[in-house]
Amino acid sequence: MITVRIRFEKTGEAAYISLLDLQRVFHRILKRSGLPVYYTQGFNPHIYLSFACPLSLGQESLCECCEVKTEAEDVLQPYMPRGIKVLSAQQAQNKVAEIDHASYLVTLPASAAAALDAYNAAENAMVVKKTKRGQKELDLKTIIPHVEYEQAGEQLQFNLVLPCGSYNPALLLGYLQQQYNIPPWLCSVLRTKLYTKNNEEFC
């Protein structure tokens, strides 16, 4: 058995598929494909399947990946639902534990320019972050000190690089929505790349 990493995009309406439902989707896809995969042992065996750095609901990504153990590789795209595009299915090179940070493309309406200017000028931006142990107060300015945005038509766009598993662009969007009434349905987040601690692209 080898560990195969399936890299895929998750965009459009697929952004609203939760992690639990995404696991169910891949279980069905793998069964329909006939790919010889490894099943866990025990009373209720199921396909070994592991996702790296799951996204928040509603966010899109160009660099999602999951791993299965198999004796063969296969093309799974014909079985994928709309919005999920398989990029590759090959033997894993890096360990998932090596993922350190990720880059995101954030899009806001052009009317948010004043809110971003106010954020950049503020000394601090306090938010409440949920953790496994409860909630804690966090100053976003220590994580995102400044936002360099550009206008593209009726939209503003900027890139963020944040540690995986610790921080999410949703913290900034939540702050802007709460403080400046930026409509959440006009905001979008697209994860573009995953990186290792050595700043190499994860693959």
pLDDT of residue 72: 60
Phi, psi (degrees; rounded to nearest 5) at 117: -65, -40
pLDDT of residue 74: 57
Nearest to 90 by CA among 30, 9, 26, 6: 6
SS3 content of the chain, % helix, strand, coil (to 5): 30, 40, 35
> Which residue spans within the chain are E strands per DSSP?
2-10, 50-51, 60-70, 84-91, 99-109, 126-131, 134-139, 150-152, 155-163, 188-196
Nearest to 74 by CA among 28, 151, 6: 6
pLDDT of residue 70: 81
pTM: 0.87
pLDDT of residue 124: 94
Q: Render each residue's pLDDT in the chain as its tens digit; 203 residues.
A: 788 899 999 999 999 999 999 999 999 988 888 888 888 887 888 888 999 998 999 999 999 999 988 866 556 788 888 899 988 888 888 888 899 999 999 999 999 999 999 999 999 999 988 877 778 899 999 999 999 999 988 999 999 999 998 899 999 999 999 999 998 889 999 999 999 999 998 87
Distance of CA 157 to the CA centre of its chain: 17
